[in-house]
Amino acid sequence: MGILEQPVSCLKGVGEKRQEYLRRMGIETLKDLIYYFPREHEDRSCSYSIAQLPHGQRAGTRAVVTGSARTRRLRRGMTLTRVPISDGTARGYAVWFNNPYTARHLRINGEYEFFGRVDRFMGEVQIQNPQVTKAKDRAGDGRGRLVPVYPKHGKLESRDFERMIAKALELAAGKVDDIFPARFREQYGLEEINKCLKNIHFPLDMASYNRARYRLVFEEFFLLQLGLLMIKREVKGKREGISFKEVPEEGRFMDGLPYRLTGAQMRAWSEIKEDMEKGSVMNRLLQGDVGSGKTVVAALALLKAAANGYQGALMVPTEVLAEQHYLTLTGMLSGFDLRLELLSGSCTAGQRKEIYGRLKDGDIDIIIGTHSLIQEGLEFARLGLVITDEQHRFGVRQRAALVSKGANPDILVMTATPIPRSLALILYGDLDLSIIDEMPPGRKRVETYVIGPGKRDSAYGFVEKQLKEGRQAYVVCPLIEESEVVEARSASEVYQELAGQYFKGYRLKLLHGRISSQAKEEVMRDFREGRIDLLVSTTVIEVGVDVPNANIIVVENAERFGLAQLHQLRGRVGRGESQSYCILINGSGSRASYERLKVMADSNDGFYISEMDLKLRGPGDFFGTRQHGLPELGIARLPDDMKTLRAAQSTALSLAEDPNFLNDSSWSQARRELERFFGREGWQSGVI
């Protein structure tokens, strides 16, 4: 075992408790620790004179203590401790709130460096709660004055990480294998890995930090791109797929629809059809904004597979959606003598066993379900087509697990999460893309309003007006139950309030993730069939739910949701004939939240909204496994690192074109890293 794989407990000062704490953050080995990068660096060069200390910033100065510490009591048990300091240019004070201790260690006439927040008030300069170092200690600790700042994690402060990481780096110094051969590093101006890892934490100056960061970002993008390219090549090149034949059922299905497919739906379908008829495996992403009509296209593909004698599986992220798709597809395909089945959480053990048996015997043509479909023991007779809906909810591994239940089935992944065009380049590296960029005719724009808490009454008054006209409504809350930590409305609380106050006499129901599958299905059925007027819910209704008579959605504490998520939620309405409404309650009342929510009022375009979301919230949330089923990026930031991305991408592309390069021993480290990055299963089954 290499030094990097050693557990963090081998460091002095990391006991059982801290080890457990780190483990919960996903940090188990020295390597994990070293790859925990600082958020920023603070310049502690203490280069300011007292006279020049910048107001309102964190900054440092070197000064002499000129008098003794004085501690004063303030209101409510607070204390204030002041120490006079001077550096010849001016006099000032180091001050501490509720900490009389640090000052006691200072000697009068001793010279120190003080680093903290500067406050200038009525001609007096203060450094608040400063960190203090003896001036002579500072000379030559070899680390420079750029001090890394790590995100605080519970009890672990930035300084704790700093100490642990410094020790880990000491142990690992010079021992990290570089995934890039030296020749390659030279060619692309990439710094050696051991040097990078030191400089990303403890750089001597910003230039060395930037060089280190460039390489690490490059590496991350490079691996991502290379992985996606290899997977794509694998899927396309080597794997014999199924050649589905053209069947008359396709035309019959379209003739039987109550509407005509839009041009965009037709285009997407013909791309999918062509893929399915080809001998190689289909690996296609179908992207279309909320409500653009992806389900009917999926139904066509499933029908084609079944008519060819193969089984199809549709995997969705929630039970509510599984049940709904089951009903929709059963309706759409009713004229075709197919056997559809729903594998739901409310199936009894007996029913489950029966379904497993029939699947294995080939007595089911189309199965619909959640993650339950990837359970061990579930087998297909002839799985030919795998579709995942709302693919961003599934990880790489889950999709791979379903696919591995067949012999090279075709794969269609559908998503309504519009991905900013700037990111499409990376995310679709491995998939062919079809886009439905047109809404079914006659859709009205959902009128959207952002209101403060003061307007809640009139908002619910408006909801009541809609209910009186026979429409139905959603009210969405960020929490299930009241919480002491988070200040936001819970679904239970809102439900009580609405049922007892605003909507006496109406039929209300509460829906959230903690009620049983059976109860959930029942509530959704009642809502769909009009036996419930108003549904108070958490985000369990976020994806896919399609009840055209519901025309108004109210989101409580809308500021707690991302814009892309709000767009999904809003997609629950605007599916029928009548004008639809979306009311976003800005619970925080803050201007910044208002501005962000206002984007929703201004636009119904999922692409535009996700661009704005990315811009306003930063990409942290955007890129994780949670959203798109890709490996999490540790250091790269989009769109800032777009240029590095392009460089890494073209490099990866030219390397991947050489079919032997991964057998080259100088790249063996990179291959291992790829496996780790994507996870073994996803990588080996060749599917992402």
CB of 305 to ligand ADP, least distance (A): 18
**How far is Cα 325 from Cα 315, in angstroms, rounded to an integer?**
10
Question: For residues 585 and 597, what is the distance between their CA atoms, to the nearest angstrom?
Answer: 9
| Contact yes or no for 379/401 (Cβ under 8 A) | no
Cβ-in-10-Å burial (0-12, 13-18, 19+) of 292 comes to buried
Q: Which range of residues in 53-61, 72-80, 544-552, 610-618 is near Mg ion by CB under 5 A? A: 544-552
Phi-psi region of 412 (alpha: psi -120 to 50; beta: other; left: phi over 0): beta
| Binding of residue 262 to ligand ADP (CB under 6 A) | yes
Distance CA 363, CA 381 (A): 9
CB of 658 to Mg ion, least distance (A): 41
293 touching ligand ADP, by CB under 6 A:
yes
Q: Tell me how far, at minimum, the Cβ of 685 lies from ligand ADP, in Å.
A: 27
64 beta partners: 86, 111
Based on the shown chain and the rule CB under 5 A, indicate whether residue 429 belongs to the binding site for Mg ion.
no
- Based on the shown chain and the rule CB under 6 A, indicate whether residue 568 belongs to the binding site for ligand ADP: no
For Mg ion, which residue of 92, 369, 544, 682 counts as binding (CB under 5 A)?
544
Q: How many residues sit in the footprint of ligand ADP (CB under 6 A)?
A: 18
Q: Does 416 bind ligand ADP (CB under 6 A)?
A: yes
Is the CB of 116 or the CB of 544 nearer to Mg ion? 544
Segment interacting with Mg ion, rule: CB under 5 A, options 150-158, 296-304, 448-456, 539-547: 539-547
CA 292, distance to chain mean position in Å, is: 23
Quick check: 295 binds ligand ADP (CB under 6 A)? yes
In which region does residue 311 sit, left (phi positive, over 0), alpha (psi from -120 to 50) or beta (all else)? Answer: beta
* DSSP assignment string, 262-293: PHHHHHHHHHHHHHHHSSBPPEEEEEE-TTS-
Helix (H, G, I), strand (E, B) or coil at 245: coil
The DSSP bridge pattern shows strands 111-121 and 58-65 to be antiparallel
* 575 contacts ligand ADP (rule: CB under 6 A): yes
Which residue lies nearest Mg ion, judged by its C-beta?
544
Residue 548 interacting with ligand ADP (CB under 6 A) = yes
Q: What are phi and psi of 311, to 5 degrees?
A: -95, 150
Pick from 7, 67, 345, 440: which binds ligand ADP (CB under 6 A)?
440
Instruction: Rank residues 404 and 472 by Cβ distance to ligand ADP and give the closer one.
Output: 472
Burial label for 546, CB within 10 Å (0-12, 13-18, 19+), is middle
Which residue shows structure tokens 């908002």?
459
Which residue of 81, 292, 318, 415 would you call a contact of ligand ADP, by CB under 6 A? 292
Does position 294 interact with ligand ADP (CB under 6 A)? The reply is yes
Instruction: Work out how close the CB of 538 gets to ligand ADP at its nearest, in angstroms, rounded to a whole number.
Output: 20
Task: Rule CB under 6 A: choose which of 30, 290, 558, 614 binds ligand ADP.
Answer: 290
Radius of gyration over alpha carbons of the chain, in Å?
30
Name the amino acid, one letter, at 569: L
Q: Which is nearer to ligand ADP, 129 or 578 (CB)?
A: 578
Smallest separation, CB 462 to ligand ADP (Å): 24
Closest CA to 466 of 548, 552, 530: 552
H or E element, residue 325: helix 319-332
Asked if 291 touches ligand ADP (CB under 6 A), the answer is yes
362 CB burial (10 A radius; 0-12, 13-18, 19+): middle
Among the listed ranges 130-138, 220-228, 358-366, 544-552, the one in contact with ligand ADP (CB under 6 A) is: 544-552
Least distance from ligand ADP to the Cβ atom of residue 576, Å: 8
Which residues form the interface with Mg ion (CB under 5 A)? 544
Which residues form the interface with ligand ADP (CB under 6 A)? 259, 261-262, 265, 288, 290-296, 416, 440, 544, 546, 548, 575
